[in-house]
A and B are shown apart, each in its own frame.
Chain A
């Protein structure tokens, strides 16, 4: 390659300068452009080039303005000017001449003129106005070439305001007899649509006409418009779906003239365009999707030729199939296609395969599992683009278990990446993962990503650190860890760390270094002060450092360090630094001031002043939002709470503001004790957790705490021994991710198992609930290894009368699982055939598969029969009540777990069904249910038809719990683990998680308006937001509240005018009050509750309920 380059370059000047040769002699004498190019090629430096071009431009300038220049010369001059512009030298003087050339010249001159104009000018250039008349004239010309040129220049750039002037002419061109003109006119109109959509609104029906044009070229051009229109509003064009499908069918079927073939593929670009349109139309729309299944299948089938462009079609097909409502047969084919892409030795196809995988992996994680080895190989691919795409894919499948490995891979890549864009992108991703799965790799991110990263990344990291997680102990550990690691970092080589990281370090040290017992503040101070002396430390960082020191200066050495720093920085040019140094010095000198803990946020020193003013008749202070409220509702319902609510809203803000005796006395003792409780610790941090679970004078907190400790409830099981448990754990952790080809290297397999852990069902934690947000959609992917439990309609023994398609599906999935040898989640279908047993469906597999014409029906009502069969096992005391849909939790070869819940007035009853699908009895079965957010009160009953810890073959055991909410969250998650033993086998465990929406715990709270008023005052947690109002004919407020009442079981206390009050409670006895007001077309909602997070969670569900309505 480089040889050729060399030759070219050495040849070029000599070619051009050899005067003796006749050809070049002619060249040098006649062509100015030739001269110019020769000159440039001979030059060695950028500077010389600049000089030469400037000379050239001057000469062009002289000539263009000379009246003697002929059109022909002018043309030549323009080309030279274009050349100079291309090299990056401005030739603005020639713009006007380009326009002149387009106006006056002959057809050929015009063409150069138009070309120059379209290269020189842009849409907003003022000279362009001069062109409008020319374009108008040319559009009306009888010379088709002139019309074409005008349309071309119009589609390249045309002033927006002038569109109306030429629009009718361009529209007329849609009826032009020549197809090339019609085609260009369509594209010009598309351009108009892009820059000024409202100006072409009236001609949308003309677009339709273009779509139906007899010439396929014009139709193709109109698809550009439709792609754009449908992208913006797919609803408006559903009626065209059938037309697009028909077009595609004809194209695929080879109905177009041979001219449209490209490498004997019929109109591939047209096909691609159509497939994109179809995928937009079929997204989230079952009926529209159904129209296109057939043609998609046809496209997949036809596009089997081995050419680049057919792969382009296949890729679009696959994307389309995964975007529209799924159809299992197509999905299967598409999955195979993706496989072909990924496995292809052609690197472009591999790239697209990875892209496709990334696209589908969230819906269908199994597919990534099938190709795990290829993915691992791609991680080590020499092409960085492939590598990055692989990381993108891994990013999508990250879960709690593989996050460390994936982030490690990303960081490896970050180390070798030299490209800014990649760095920024990747750092963002790593940070996102780190926030989701917090861990110490954040340090590496900071030091590598450096100052390139977005500023909000360190901010959110600090937020994470300060707000903490669920348990205080963990928070402490994490912070301590951070402090320790940062101190050691500072001790080694602080000068290499990026500024942002230093800022993070100093904040953390300032805030948390007291957590470390052996760390003297003075040591930290000294370390920090070293940072100030570093040359490259920016003044922003310095002020972070100084602020950290301000928090630390205490004790002998620290004071002297502070003194030193003050002396160096008190004369700093930077006022901020000077200020900080001053503060530091003051605080270190005055230990009393220091111990006060900084700001008295209650402004208690003003108390005297305030009480004097109040005594003199001044109105009490109201926070701004309340004042607004009151202004807005001047005429409305005057509910007692609002006039009194001032002290409450003060106490509800989380800053420690209770030290003010005056304010307390004003609050008439209403909120006194509730708030006092939370601040007994005297904590001055900004932690909101301090006010957790305190809701009033009743002393609710005291009641609750003892109960929390008993949260972990186990199924009573006398046979359980610690050693068995340990054994069970070990078998579970050893469960390897099976590999596709056993001869692959050991470490790759290890990597694979660490990367793809959590995607299959037998991995140590069942992530079904999380990793598979659309189980409904992809049910057919469920490849259960239901071994002997597989059922088939063809076996006479299966009298269980489950619907036959289900059985077929099961067989299919069996087939799949044999191919893939990957244990995966078994979803409803498997459990559906619970009662039907056995059957040698293996022999009949292929048969069954082909005899199953429509798998789509499988998805339609799969739950009913299973519900029936499982619901018969409901505990007797619940059987009369309505229960939720029975959802599958998880399963393996021998057990299927499913759950449902029953809402009772005072609690939620959670029922877990354990179905033993194996041929032998499960022994020593234990079920543990646990949750951070839930209080699992007790196991009410365990119903089996055999001794407690045993479940016979093909029978069901039922565990029944009564649960209430400990800490509200939008979805409450229950984690559980079932351990059991098959006869003669090792102990096994299976884990599951189950999500319950908070709404299942909400019950109406019936009270009177007066009670409401007094309760309102007592609650400290509040949230406000505007919700959408359901606008029907008459009374939007009532309608909206009724919807909420119906969906969330709220109790509407009273509706007065534009306001309404609503109450509900979270079982058990955790009230939440809601005040709604119609304001400017929205519903302004104010929620109050004694329980932290409850208002927020409830608000979320209200939003959902209204959206769904």
Chain B
């Protein structure tokens, strides 16, 4: 089971926090801090798995993370999850974000926190992997954004129109090329 999903930037500022197991508020903050502390001091060329936080679930608990430009995506899981499987799940999630936000960057995550949550809800539900097909995830999320409430997939253009209408704050006209999260095409392992 996935216990928690944490996204924070290179400075440890949380960008998305989702716990699937209950922790008190201050405990949550402590977990975020400790996780950031553990993850941030690791080089980019070391392995993506970490054991050894003592906060969630003890020895049965692992951190699996990926680092994209300014953001860390960290999944805290127990032993019933496959390490490499989760690693690719993160990739699926990020690629989906990229699809939904068109060149996703940290700012998208800040300003559209709610939407990121909705996307995540379609990938992971209650700590279990629900869907791993990107198109399916996008279809589900976009469907629900459209106020009509129909489940038939809305055409992509209409979707982006809706998106722009609902979210006028997107600072699209500013050059944010540098802070894009690079979604690398999966390097073969």
Contact = CB atoms under 8 A, between A and B. Distances in A.
Contacts of B128: 155, 187, 190, 221, 224
Nearest to A191: B126
B76 to A, nearest CB: 14
A346 B186 CA distance: 14
Contact of B131 (A123, A157, A217, A344): A217
B172 A23 contact: yes
B114 to A, nearest CB: 6
A681 interface: no
B164 interface: no
Nearest to A15: B174
A272 B106 contact: no
Nearest to B80: A227
Given A307-B188, A421-B54, A260 B171 contact: no
Contacts of B125: 152, 155-156, 184, 187
Interface string B87-103: 11100100000000000
A383 interface: yes
Nearest to A146: B149
A377 to B, nearest CB: 15
Q: How large is the interface on B (under 10, 10 to 19, 20 to 34, 35 or more residues)?
A: 35 or more
Interface in A967-986: none
Contacts of B151: 144-145, 178, 180
Contacts of B54: 420-421, 424
* Residues of A contacting B: mostly: helix
A8 interface: yes
A123 B22 contact: yes
A347 interface: yes
Contacts of A388: 51-52
Interface string A67-99: 000000000000100110111101000000000
Contacts of B16: 86
Interface in A377-393: 382-383, 385-386, 388
A961 interface: no
A654 to B, nearest CB: 38
Interface residues of A, number: 96
A315 interface: yes
B114 A115 contact: yes
A213 to B, nearest CB: 15
A603 interface: no
A156 B88 contact: no
Contacts of A350: 47
A383 B47 contact: yes
Given A23-B172, A191-B126, A1 B50 contact: no
A312 interface: yes
Contacts of A351: 47, 49, 83
A422 B130 CA distance: 33
A308 B189 contact: yes
Contacts, number: 215
B161 interface: no
A183 interface: yes
A86 B15 CA distance: 8
A36 B162 CA distance: 25
B69 A4 contact: yes
B49 A385 contact: yes
Contact of A382 (B46, B87, B126, B172): B46
A8 B149 contact: no
B88 A309 contact: yes
A11 B174 CA distance: 10
B82 A272 contact: yes
Contact of A346 (B38, B49, B189): B189
Interface in B101-151: 106-107, 110-111, 113-114, 117-118, 121, 125-126, 128-133, 135-136, 140, 143-145, 147, 149, 151
Contacts of A311: 84, 189
A279 to B, nearest CB: 12
Contacts of B158: none
A751 B24 CA distance: 48
Interface stretch (A25-33, A823-831, A1014-1022): A25-33
B169 A269 contact: no
Contact of A183 (B17, B82, B117, B130): B130
Contacts of B28: 88
A421 B149 CA distance: 49
B147 A148 contact: no
Given A26-B168, A26-B169, A262-B88, A8 B51 contact: no
Interface in B13-38: 14, 16-18, 20, 22, 25-26, 28-29, 38
A108 B147 contact: yes
Given A87-B14, A269-B129, A315-B82, A308 B88 contact: yes
9 contacts: A1-B10, A5-B70, A33-B111, A37-B111, A88-B28, A187-B128, A276-B80, A312-B82, A385-B50
Question: Lowest 9 A-B CB distances belong to which pairs?
Answer: A155-B126, A312-B84, A383-B46, A308-B189, A122-B22, A88-B29, A23-B173, A421-B52, A347-B47
Interface of A: 1-2, 4-5, 7-9, 11-12, 15-16, 21-24, 26-27, 30-31, 33-34, 37, 79, 82-83, 85-88, 90, 106-108, 111-112, 115, 119, 122-124, 143-145, 148, 152, 155-157, 178, 180, 183-184, 187-188, 190-191, 217, 221, 224, 227, 231, 259-260, 262-263, 268-269, 272, 276, 306-309, 311-312, 315-316, 344, 346-352, 382-383, 385-386, 388, 419-422, 424-425
